[in-house]
Amino acid sequence: MYPMGNVTRNTIAMVLAGGKGERLSPVTLNRPKPCVSFGGKYKIIDFVLSNLFNSGIKKAYILTQYRAHALNKHIKNSWAKWAGLEEFYDTLSPETSSAGEEWFKGTADAIYQFMRFIESSNAEYVAIFGGDHIYKMDISQMIAYHIVNKADITLAALEVPAEEAKRFGIFSVDEDFRVTAFTEKPDNPATIPERDTCFASMGNYIFSVKILLEILKEGKKKHADLDFGKHVIPMMLERGDRVFAYNFIDNLVPGMRQEEKGYWKDVGTIDSYYEANMDLINVVPQLNLYNYKWPILTNQSNLPPAKTVFDEEGRCGQNLNSYVCGGCITSGSTVRRSIIGPRCKINSYSLIEDSILFENVEIGRHVKIKKAIIDENIKIPDGTEIGYDHEADRRRGYVISDSGIVVVTK
């Protein structure tokens, strides 16, 4: 840790939240990946915004693009109203009808299009973070590390086994963790000196403002699709800029348990998304949402508590080993090892197992659902079975993942 007083005072954040999340389809057909539900009541973007907020960074622009309405609404209804004087959580989207604006062509191009917001600020540092991962991080520690090293850019790095490194962009570093090279998905990944692990890029960066503006202008002359991994980092290494890797495993948030250290999930596929959600209902999950010293914040809707009704033989409302959100009614049915989003109703004689229900799902009577994800605002008719016969599920038009998770969308 690198405590250095209030290092976030001169920092603004730019959160990249415009991605389609195509590998997470069909859940992302009508919403961007950062706006997908996670853990029942949250959206994926709530994790990075909570990290910024809890770290003391309360000046943040969220760059949205693909099907941005739902995400813009979520930010406005929750994050925008928590900002104080001279603080903001504001969404920015490219205006395609304007002569000077166009859709983002790369991660760095997105920042370039809104460079004027950085130039008009008094910030010394810019935190550029992705909006589509699940993790907890005290970003002020990374900024302090950046300052100590007199870095031009600091790259958040995940320490991964060498055999897994081929899936990532990998940093080569010296003994001081100064980056000497960056390679996308290498066949022979460089290991960290005196270790058998590698540094993988998390896609999160701290820039010194002057260098960022300089490199964006220089890079945009050469690359229309300016991207941090493909262009900006290699350009900075070529120029001899001070590029450092920050080891995410060294980051500690208040109240963090040992098993949570280094937790970071991409949730980029249906299977990885399902597994990360299901971890939450374990007795000791890797990700602890009950740590009130580092809360994950979201829109606090005025919903009544969840309740169960009926306690009769053959008709008992019960939630077992499950995570049930506000406004839910489990009426004479059984929910087992599942995550039930806000405002769901599960009617009598039904069984929900190992499943995820998004917001405002209604389950009819005598329904059986196993290992499924049900999208929001869907009504499942009486007597339906999902997850028991995959051929029948496919005939209904449901998508089935590699590991057999059935996804039901409108």
- Residue 244 counted as domain residue: yes
How much is the pLDDT for 103? 63
How much is the pLDDT for 99? 42
The answer on 349 and 403 residing in a single domain is yes
- Residue 288 counted as domain residue: no
- Residue 56 counted as domain residue: yes
Residue 363 CB-density burial (10 A; 0-12 exposed, 13-18 middle, 19+ buried): buried
User: Is 401 part of any known ligand binding site?
Assistant: no
The answer on 328 and 270 residing in a single domain is no
- Residue 294 counted as domain residue: no
How much is the pLDDT for 150? 97
- Residue 313 counted as domain residue: yes
Give the chain's length: 410
The answer on 337 and 191 residing in a single domain is no
User: Is 259 part of any known ligand binding site?
Assistant: no
**185: domain CATH number?**
3.90.550.10
- Residue 120 counted as domain residue: yes
- Residue 2 counted as domain residue: no
Give the chain's radius of gyration (CA, Å). 23
pTM of the model: 0.94
How much is the pLDDT for 100? 47
The answer on 376 and 237 residing in a single domain is no
User: Is 322 part of any known ligand binding site?
Assistant: no
Q: Which domain holds residue 156?
A: 11-279
The answer on 139 and 256 residing in a single domain is yes
The answer on 332 and 264 residing in a single domain is no
How much is the pLDDT for 394? 97
Task: Please give the average pLDDT of every successive group of 10 residues along the chain, which has 410 residues.
Answer: 65 90 90 94 97 95 88 91 84 60 75 93 96 96 97 97 92 97 92 95 96 96 92 96 98 94 94 97 94 93 94 96 97 98 98 98 98 98 98 97 96
User: Is 262 part of any known ligand binding site?
Assistant: no
**319: domain CATH number?**
2.160.10.10
> How many domains is the chain partitioned into structurally?
2
Task: Give Cα separations from 281 to 104, 241, 284, 292 (angstroms).
Answer: 38, 45, 8, 18
- Residue 389 counted as domain residue: yes
The answer on 383 and 257 residing in a single domain is no
The answer on 124 and 58 residing in a single domain is yes
